[in-house]
Amino acid sequence: MSPTDSLTSLRVDLGPIAYSTDTRKLRTKSRDRFAQSPVLRDLLRGRNAEIFIAPRDKDELRTAVAACARHRIPITVRGAGSGQFGQGVPLRGGAVIDVTAIAGVIDWHGEPGRRLPTTVRALTGTVVADIDAAIRPSGWELRMHPSTAHQATVGGYIAGGHAGIGSCRWGILRDPGNITALEVMTVEERPRLIELRGRDVNTVHHAYGANGIITEVELPVAPAWEWHELVIAFPDFEQASRFSVDICCSDGILTKVVSPHAHPLPRYFPELAGLIPDGESMVLVMAAVQSVPNVEDLVHANGGRIRYRCLEGKGAYGAPLYEFTWGHSMLRYQRHNDKLTGLMALFPQENLYESMVAVHRDFAELGPLHVEMKRIDGGLSCQGSPVFEFESQQRLAAITERLQQAGLFIANSHTPVLGAGGMKPWGPREAAVKREFDPYGLLAQGKADDAVVEDTIAVSTALPNSGWSYRLST
């Protein structure tokens, strides 16, 4: 059967399920935020699905997936499209299945006034911020969320993200205990629903939807403190780094964000620029109200000044403070200069402060340093890199090698291919799960290691990056 005939038969099999083949719709729904990467801007432009499908519930999703399996139509599962690496881009046409209507908190046992640890379970298309809104009246919140919490779906966050707001305290998503359970739909003529718990969740987490369609997510929660936002200035980046390490190593201080930005990066945030004296570096912090006096002590001990403080989301800068950190930082830098880019470098836990200062000093000619503090594998680290203008893939490769020689571990954030990215371990367990859950190899074609990767993408996005390894690998 020709591809055209297969799509015609697929439309018939969809019955009342909403779909579209409108060119403009397909173009819009085949994009995510990959344009943040100067490497991917042109490479992924024009790679569109052939049909857009929007199931309203899991039953309609099952019908759509079964039809795609029968007709061997490639599938790209889409949430809000807030990914930055091309996770939501269909590399080989086929169907984009939008799961944003499959939403809602479905299992929550918290009760007002009861301080008992518990979990929350939600359908895949639930906006992350909506989960927090549902459980906060009971005194609980998610341990971590992306900087795009008000747009991102929870299924998309688990499938394409790895850390975020809260990681300076709780670690990254793949650290044991940070994902309680996942329900996954297989891609077969008769799709099954599989419940994954324990170490099995990491076979599907951060796999870009390549080895199973996430339908439900269960996450642990933490006490919902009254969070305060603090914009802090330091005369130099060494002091900002010392403060950032000190506050994250003070286990009794409750923080949610610790985000250092070297001069002149604060000038790239018009909303914040007036708060930081010219020539100084900045650390953005979210701290629980009871910890603010301790934060003040550490700020003063390291020669800094708190330039602004407010309740979460109440800042004069017009957005939650976390929307100036993590992936949102580069988005805002590029409004200042669209040539700016960076690499996803993981700093060594041993001698972390010294490493931050050395990279800031030794790569000063390249650009100012921005990192996000986070815990990983039970220890403190940070991720980020100097912010510099993109010139060519060759220069990007040379910078990668220099940073690795400086002791950093680089993940390639300029590729949609899992193996080339180097953040997701892909071994026999992951490959076996893909064969079982996606026997026809229809999911995320071109992105998983056991798929035949297109030479143009593999070659055009390749960097000599080491990737990340995990001591607590599961």
What one-character-per-residue DSSP string does 438-469 give?
-TT--BTTTTSTTS---HHHHHHH--------
Where residue 59 falls among pLDDT bands split at 50, 70, 90?
very high
Confidence at 448, pLDDT banded by 50, 70, 90: confident
198, 209, 257, 287 from 303: Cα distances, Å: 44, 46, 20, 19
Residue 273 CB neighbour total at 10 angstroms: 16
Residue-wise pLDDT tens digits, 250-297 = 999 999 999 999 999 999 999 999 999 999 999 999 999 999 999 999
**pLDDT tens-digit profile of 402-426?**
999 999 999 999 999 998 999 999 8
Query: What is the set of domains in the chain, with CATH numbers?
Result: 227-411 (3.40.462.40)
Handedness of CA 425, 429, 431, 433 (dihedral sign): negative
Q: For residues 302 and 239, what is the distance between their CA atoms, to the nearest angstrom?
A: 6
114 has a pLDDT exceeding 50: yes
pLDDT of residue 193: 98
pLDDT tens for residues 124-167? Answer: 999 999 999 999 998 999 999 999 999 999 999 999 999 999 99
Run of H or E including 332: helix 327-336
Q: In the structure, what pLDDT confidence band is assigned to residue 11 with cuts at 50, 70 and 90?
A: very high
pTM score of the predicted model: 0.95
What percentage of the chain carries pLDDT values higher than 70?
A: 95
pLDDT band at 5 (very low <50, low <70, confident <90, very high): confident
111: pLDDT strictly greater than 90: no
pLDDT at 380: 98
Per-residue pLDDT at 115 exceeds 70: no
Give pLDDT, residue 453: 47
Averaged pLDDT, 328-342: 96
In this predicted structure, what is the pLDDT of residue 2? 63
Confidence of residue 457 (pLDDT cuts 50, 70, 90): confident
Q: What is the mean pLDDT of residues 238-247?
A: 98
Taking residues 202-216, what's their average pLDDT? 96
Q: Hey, CA dihedral for 433, 439, 445, 449, is it positive or negative?
A: positive
State how far Cα 323 lies from the chain centre. Answer: 13
Interval 334-351 mean pLDDT: 97
pLDDT digit string, tens, across residues 358-410: 999 999 999 999 999 999 999 999 999 999 999 999 999 999 999 999 999 99
Q: What mean pLDDT comes out for the span 193-218?
A: 97
Mean of all residue pLDDT scores within the chain:
94
The pLDDT value given to residue 471: 81
Quick one: pLDDT at residue 116? 59
DSSP sequence for 388-454 = EE---HHHHHHHHHHHHHTT-EEE-TT-S-HHHH-SS---HHHHHHHHHH-TT--BTTTTSTTS---
Please, which residues have CB within 8 angstroms of residue 270's CB and are 6 or more apart in sequence?
none
Could you tell me which residue, 172 or 474, shows the higher pLDDT?
A: 172
Residue closest to 409 by CA, chosen among 361, 344, 329: 344
DSSP lists the bridge partners of residue 285 as 230, 258
